[in-house]
Amino acid sequence: KGLVIAGLLAALMSSLSSVFNSCSTIFTLDIYKKIKPESTEKHLVLVGRIATVGLVFFGLLWVQFIDNISDQLFKYLQSVQAYISPPIAAVFLLGIFFKRLNSKGAMASMVTGFVLGIARLIGEVNKTDLQGAFFYFCDINFLHFAIFLFVICVAVLILVSLLTNSPDY
């Protein structure tokens, strides 16, 4: 039992380490360095460490909401992924097969998916206070929601791309 628990904890620590490293790198190099391009490497490392501490803090604050979404951790992880993945999948798949798409359509699709996914996540946390259409929006099975979100993102991607200029090849 101890060996299995040690293996699970090692896998968990590796996953968390990867997430924190990736998020702090994205924040430091893609956001902070563009705001302050004169920053030294030493300063950027410090900013990355502070960003990691901030991520850990926000992660600890979020733990209390997990129980509101699902009593099973695996189901929670899958539902959150169902709110994030459909816009990315729509842009990636259609970008391969439909050359008329452009960056404005991709951005509109990603923003639409993000807004709907976050609205669903926030609504799912506060499901007891919801009424009417927003309750049904948050009460539908997360897998069905992922399908609807994918279809909506595909529609937005195609519509915005067709209504704007074609990409310059």
Looking up tokens 């669903």 gives 120
What number is the average pLDDT over the span 15-43?
Answer: 92
Render pLDDT for 130-146 as a digit per residue (tens, 0 to 9): 788 888 888 888 899 99
- Under the banding of pLDDT at 50, 70 and 90, the label for residue 64 is confident
pLDDT higher than threshold 80 for residue 121: yes
> Does residue 62 carry a pLDDT above 90?
no
Cβ-contact 99, 162 below 8 angstroms:
no
- Determine which of 19-33, 116-130, 149-163 has the lowest per-residue pLDDT on average: 116-130
Q: How far is CA 120 from CA 66, 108, 132, 133, 152, in A?
A: 14, 18, 14, 12, 14
Are the beta carbons of 19 and 52 closer than 8 angstroms?
no
| Backbone torsion region of residue 137, taken as left when φ is above 0, otherwise alpha when ψ lies between -120 and 50, otherwise beta | alpha
Query: pTM for this one?
Result: 0.72
The reported pLDDT for the residue numbered 125 is: 77
Looking at the chain, the whole-number percentage of residues with pLDDT higher than 90 is: 57
Lowest model confidence (mean pLDDT) among 11-15, 45-49, 63-67: 63-67
- Give the integer Cα–Cα distance in Å for 17 and 36: 26
